[in-house]
Chains A and B, each alone.
Chain A
C-alpha cells in the first residue's frame, strides 16, 4: 500500500514535447511509472521515446485510460492545461510548473475541488511511491520502499531527507512535494489523513518552511487526529521578515509565518521538531 499513486496508476504528461517535459517523462518511464502518453497541441502522432503524443487530453485519456496527469506546460498556459485535465476525467493532477499567477491557481483549485479532482502543486517536485510510480522531477534512485511517509513544501530539501531515510535503512512509502506557492491544490492535512489510513506507513515526516500557517493548522490536526508518529523539520529560522525566500509562498509577513512560531506551535502540540538537518535519518531510527 501507499497513498494516491502506485504501480497501477496510468499517467499522461501535458507539455511532454518541451525540454523539461520530455526529459522527465522519460525518467519517470525508466523508473517504472506507467507513463502511457503525452499531450502537446498540434504534435499529436509524434513520439517521445516510447511514449505516444496526443493533441488533447480527451484523446490521450480515451486512448490510454490514464487517470493522472503530470503538467510541465509554461506558467501562462498552465491554468488552461489544468482545466482541460479536470474536464477530461483526470483524477490526479501533478503540476510541476513554477511561476503560475496566484489568481489562476485560486481558480484552478476551486474548479478542481468542485469536480472532486485532486491537484498536487504547483511549483513542486511531484509525488513518488517508492519503487512503483514516480510522477515528477525527483531523482528516483534515492527513494527506497519502506516505512515513512514524507510531505514537504520543498524540493531538494526533501531529497536530502529522503536520502537520509534511505541510508538509515527505513525507506519511504509515498513522498509528496506539495509545492512552494501561496495557493496549492493539496495541503498537509489532506495527506496526513491519507497516511494515517495507509497500513504501510508507520510514521510521517512533515517538512515545512516559513510563510502562511499550514504547519500550525497541521499541528492542530495531528494532535487531534493522528495516532501515527509525525516528526517535523522547519526551514527558515534565519529568514528575514518581508523577504521572499525563493518560493513564492516562503515569506514572513509582519508577525506571521516565522519558522520560530511554527516550531513553537508544533512542539506545543507534542510534535518532535528536528532542528539539525543532518539528524533526520537518525531521529527516525530512534522511534522505530
Chain B
C-alpha cells in the first residue's frame, strides 16, 4: 500500500526525521494562507498523486506569490493528472502540498528495502540523489552504499556513520545522515514497510540535512496489525475494477486489450496472457480466481471482466486439480447463463475428469467454444474477438 507524500512527511516527522516546513491543502481557498505561512520568500507547490514523474508533468513548481499558489491549486485540484510514468492513466488530484522553498546545495538518496537475494532489509545510500536510484544502480553501482541489517539488530547511528563517513570531508553531514537512516530503519521495522525512499535527502544552507520528498510503501500483508497505517489508504490508489475484484477475493489487473481472461492461479494467469499475446492478441486483464475456481468465483470474474467495454472475447483457462473439470464446467455454464454472456467464450479445461467437463460444455446449448491446448484456445479467442468486433463495430 502506498501513501501520499504529505502522509509520509507526517510519519517521518513522528520518527524525528527533519522535513521541510509545509502544509497540505485540499482546496484553493487554503492556498494563500499556506503560502504566507511558509514563504521564504517563495514556496514549492506539489500535486499529491500516487505516481512518479510529477515534476516533468508540471505538478511540482516554485510559486512566488500567494496568487501563484492559488492559481496552481485551481489548475490541478479536482482535475485529472497524468505523467509519463502513469501509462496513459490519470488520477484526480485531491491535495496539494505547499512547503518552504529551501535552497538546495546537494541532493542525496536514502532508501530502505528488502533485498530479496539476501532475505534481509538493506539501507541504500548514495550521494547521487534527485535521480532514479535504479539508473544509478546500473550506471554507477559503486556509488551506492548498502548496509544490511537483521530483525534482531537494528543498525545504530554509529554503525551507519562508520559506513558512509569516508564519502564526506567532515563529520557533521554524515552524522546527520546516519541519524536519519537509523530513525528510518526503526520506522521500517515498526510499521512493516516494504520500501521507503527519501529522494532527495537534501543538504540545505551548507550544513543542514532534511528530507525533501518521501515515498513509503507498506506491506499489504501486515496491515492487519497497523490500523493507523491502513487508515491512510487512498481508495483512488487502485483501479475501481481492481478494488471490486479484491472485495470478492479475486486478483484482477487491468491491461487494456480486448481478450479477457479468467484463470485459476497467478502463474498460469500470467502465462495465459503471454499466450494471448503470442497468438497476436492483447489481453484485457490479468484475473486469478484462486486455485479452486467455484461457480461463484467464475461469475464474479465474468462480471468484473465485462465491466471493461473493450472486451470482445473471454478465454477461460482452468487447470482442474483438486477441483474437478466437470464441476468447473458446471460453474462456467451456470455463470454464463446468469449473466447472459454476449461476447464469445472460449474455454480450455485440463486435469481430472476433463472429458466429462468438455462434454458438459458441448451439450450446454450455449455458444461455448471448447479447446484442448492453451495455444489453440489463445488463437481461437484472438480470432473470435476480431470477428466479434467486425460484427459490432457499427453498433458502437
Majority secondary structure, B binding face = mixed
Residue B283 at the chain A interface, CB threshold 8 Å: yes
Interface members, chain B 251-269 (any A CB < 8 Å): 251, 253, 255, 263-269
Contact between A275 and B278 (Cβ–Cβ < 8 Å)?
yes
Residue A101 at the chain B interface, CB threshold 8 Å: yes
Cβ contacts under 8 Å, A75 to chain B: 221, 224
Q: What 0/1 pattern do residues 369 to 387 of B give for CB contact below 8 A with A?
A: 0000111100000000000
Contact between A183 and B375 (Cβ–Cβ < 8 Å)?
no
Residue B355 at the chain A interface, CB threshold 8 Å: no
Residue A109 at the chain B interface, CB threshold 8 Å: yes
Residue A276 at the chain B interface, CB threshold 8 Å: yes
Q: Which of A159, A243, A250 contacts B351 (CB 8 A)?
A: A159
Q: What 0/1 pattern do residues 235 to 258 of B give for CB contact below 8 A with A?
A: 000000000000000010101000
Residue A13 at the chain B interface, CB threshold 8 Å: no
Cβ contacts under 8 Å, B150 to chain A: 106, 110
Report the Cα distance A74→B310, complex, angstroms: 39
Interface members, chain A 227-285 (any B CB < 8 Å): 233, 235-241, 243-250, 254-256, 259, 275-279
Q: Which of A142, A153, A155, A182 contacts B114 (CB 8 A)?
A: A182
Total interface residues on A, CB under 8 Å, equals 64
Residue B138 at the chain A interface, CB threshold 8 Å: yes
Nearest CB of chain A from residue B279's CB, rounded to whole Å? 10
Report the Cα distance A278→B375, complex, angstroms: 6
Report the Cα distance A75→B192, complex, angstroms: 14
Interface residues on B, range: 35 or more
Contact between A246 and B288 (Cβ–Cβ < 8 Å)?
yes
Central interface residue in B251, B266, B267, by most chain A CB within 10 Å: B267
Report the Cα distance A247→B221, complex, angstroms: 12
Central interface residue in A103, A158, A213, A244, by most chain B CB within 10 Å: A103
Contact between A103 and B219 (Cβ–Cβ < 8 Å)?
yes
Contact between B271 and A157 (Cβ–Cβ < 8 Å)?
yes
Interface members, chain B 345-365 (any A CB < 8 Å): 350-352
Interface residue ranges, B against A (CB under 8 Å): 87, 114, 116-117, 119-121, 132, 134-135, 138, 150-152, 189, 192, 194, 219-222, 224-225, 251, 253, 255, 263-278, 283, 286, 288, 291, 319, 321-322, 350-352, 373-376
